A and B are shown apart, each in its own frame.
Chain A
Amino acid sequence: MIINIWLNGRQLTREIEADLLLIDFLRNNGCYSVKRGCETSNCGLCSVLLEDKPVLSCSTLAARADGKHVYTLEGLQPQAEEFGSFMADQGAEQCGFCSPGLVISVLAMEKELNNPSDEEIKEYLSGSLCRCSGYMSQLRAIKLYLDRKGAQEYERN
């Protein structure tokens, strides 16, 4: 079948198999930031934005993204660098294999939650597993990042 996807702002028309998963479509089209960590929808490594919402690209048929906007980190480099530098300053990325999925979810959280508490942050991101960091450094990075964004917002107003 043929699908049209707006991938990172660019329209792509591709012939695909009906059971192609979005993760494989994305990797086949050069989006290597999208990682696979399990087959059971548990790890969150494959998270991408589908119509601005974070979804598991391993559990989404590419066919279902037909006509829709998909963003991966390849299309969000300035945002990834901005938040990522807070991660880097904590050493929170460690092996980095789960980082792209986490970054996607943090960017989505930032839009969805206003001034979240620690518990709200943890809950929003609980579908992004990490085995290296023990999560604390990520929480530090996220809070510092949100604080700075908040301060910038405040100054602008």
Chain B
Amino acid sequence: MVSIERFVRVKSLAEAYELNQERMNTVLGGFMWLKMGNRKIENAIDLSGLSLDTIEETGEEFSIGCMCSLRTLELHEGLHHAFQGVIREAVHHIVGVQFRNGATVGGSVYGRFGFSDVLTCLLALDCYVELYKGGIVPLHEFATMKSDNDILVRIHIKKDGRKASYQSQRITRTDFPIIAAAAAKKDNTLFISIGARPGKASLLIKDDCLLDENSADDEIAALAEWARDQYKYGSDIRAGQEYRRHLAFVYVKRALQEILRGVTA
């Protein structure tokens, strides 16, 4: 297990930031994955005292504190209705209620894990990461940035009226996904994200998308094929490359069908 010399419940983000500049110090998220490593941590930086565990909703956006639990995210009615339940759909498979009460949004996003349902889902939304020093960065940029010593403070999701869908396949219902796909549409722009390939999710944008509820199956399929081909796939303990590639097509297609027609095929 990880070892920790000191546990520091910081009084301010400035204090957290300063501590986090040392290599042997680290910010605690939910501690779900961190504890499984063998790291020796000098100062474990705990942000629990900074009231960052809530979701605030305004007319324009949702502002989600980094210490907000995945369970809080899952149960938030405003988020649920704003994005057709995609966030709940992305989160509710993750291990179990007890786990999701512990795991944090900040930890999930900061980790930028390949298997991340949260990252895959949020990428398809108009989502931003608020960093203490770095300011506000679009999530798709943050996803490709190297880990540094900044502090992830909040996640912002804009209420821009996107229609979204989240799809995934797992070996058991509470396992990591063997593929995860999210899609969202605003006007004629499509936002697609495919994760657990098993590499981490990244955002694909398609402008001038003319698909609508009357589009034929093969038009939708053609777009899903195109989206599939924009990503690389690999093999791991859970699934092979060829199969994942096929699943990416199937689930992007189903996500598009859901967005356009409001039903999953």
Contact = CB atoms under 8 A, between A and B. Distances in A.
A59 B30 contact: yes
A77 to B, nearest CB: 21
B215 interface: no
Nearest to B34: A59
Contacts of A39: 1, 36
B1, B36, B46, B97 interface centre (most CB from chain A within 10 Å): B97
Contact of B32 (A41, A44, A50, A53): A41
A125 to B, nearest CB: 8
Given A1-B6, A61-B31, A127-B174, A56 B46 contact: no
Contacts, number: 83
B99 A1 contact: no
Given A59-B102, A60-B31, A127-B174, A41 B95 contact: yes
Select the residue from A54, A66, A128 with max chain B CB neighbours within 10 A.
A54
B254 to A, nearest CB: 21
B35 A59 contact: yes
Contacts of B255: none
A107 interface: no
B96 interface: yes
A56 B98 contact: yes
Interface in A34-74: 39-42, 44, 47, 50, 53-56, 59-61, 63-64, 66
A44 B99 CA distance: 8
A105 B97 contact: yes
Contacts of A125: 96-97
Nearest to B69: A53
Contact of A127 (B1, B5, B6, B98): B98
Nearest to A3: B7
Given A59-B35, A60-B31, A127 B48 contact: no
Between B6, B71, B102, the greatest number of chain A beta carbons within 10 A of the residue's beta carbon is seen for: B102
Interface in B14-69: 28, 30-32, 35-36, 41, 44, 46, 48
A155 interface: no
Interface residues of A, number: 31
A54 B92 contact: no
B4 A18 contact: yes
Contacts of A41: 32, 36, 95, 99, 102
Interface string A121-140: 00111111000000000000
B7 A63 contact: yes
B188 interface: no
Contacts of B174: 126-127
A66 B3 CA distance: 19
A156 B36 CA distance: 48
Nearest to A123: B92
Contact of A47 (B7, B9, B48, B98): B98
B98 A54 contact: yes
- Central interface residue in A17, A44, A127, by most chain B CB within 10 Å: A127
A19 interface: yes
A114 to B, nearest CB: 13
A60 B95 contact: no
B2 interface: yes
Given A53-B101, A64-B46, A126-B173, A18 B7 contact: yes
Nearest to A58: B35
Interface of B: 1-7, 9, 28, 30-32, 35-36, 41, 44, 46, 48, 71, 92, 95-99, 101-102, 173-174
| In the complex, the 7 A-B pairs of residues with the closest C-beta atoms, listed nearest first | A127-B96, A19-B4, A18-B7, A63-B7, A18-B4, A54-B98, A53-B101
Interface of A: 1, 17-19, 21, 39-42, 44, 47, 50, 53-56, 59-61, 63-64, 66, 105, 108-109, 123-128
6 contacts: A56-B98, A59-B31, A63-B7, A125-B96, A127-B96, A128-B98
